[in-house]
Structure 1
Amino acid sequence: MSGRKVLVAEFTALPGEEEAVAALLAGFAVQVRAEPGCVEFAPFQLAEQPSRFFVYEVYRDDDAFAAHIGAPYGVEFNARLGPLIVEDGSQLTWLQPLEG
């Protein structure tokens, strides 16, 4: 079993779609936080640029992240999010802890 999987997902709402993206993300957060392997799922909206969204995510391990990616509600979320954002899906940045 590997260590925790930590990432930041980010995306930009199309003009006028900020509220729709925020509502969609809020509903998705409830589902993801219920996953047994989810340690943290914290969505944010950039204060000075409300079209920018960031999600700090932590999963117990590779298996937990794989379960998250394979969840049917995640597929539905991404299908609904796609037409509302500038990018071609969430942009993922993987993080690694500094402590030893």
Structure 2
Amino acid sequence: MTAPTILHATFTAIPGQGDRVAALLAEFAEGVRAEPGNVVFDATRLVDDPDRFFVYEVYRDEEAFQAHLAAPAGVPFNAALQELIVEPHSQLTFLRRI
């Protein structure tokens, strides 16, 4: 059995754009959760700073993660997200279960 691919993504909405980011992310999450190799796609906002977002993702394996990256919904989502966040793109941190 291959190891799952686990990561979290963080990003910050431009002031005044938090609700737009949340709506965009909620719509994207629905599609990602339907991908056959997705195990978890948990999108959240920080309670103390609602312009900060934290997304926890788990994919069955690296192949499933690569399929997620190649999915057609990713390109328009990331293009729209880039226009609404402070960072040039979401900050990804890959994790390994212990």
TM-score range, shorter chain: over 0.9
Distance 1:88 1:60 in 2: 28
Q: Does 1:22 align with 2:22?
A: yes
Distance 1:15 1:2 in 2: 41
TM-score (normalised: structure 2): 0.97
**In the alignment, which residue of structure 2 is the partner of 1:63?**
63
- Post-superposition, which runs of at least 4 consecutive aligned residues in structure 1 deviate over 6 A? none
How far 1:2 sits from its partner (Å)? 3.2
TM-score (normalised: structure 1): 0.95
Identity across matched positions, percent: 58
C-alpha root-mean-square deviation of aligned residues, in Å? 0.8
**In the alignment, which residue of structure 2 is the partner of 1:46?**
46
How far 1:53 sits from its partner (Å)? 0.1
2:17 alignment partner AA: E
Length, aligned pairs only: 98
2:40 alignment partner AA: E
Distance 2:2 2:90 in 1: 24
Alpha-carbon deviations, 1:5-51, whole Å to 9, x = none? 00001100000000000000000000000000000000010000000
Where does structure 1 lack aligned partners over 5 or more consecutive residues? none
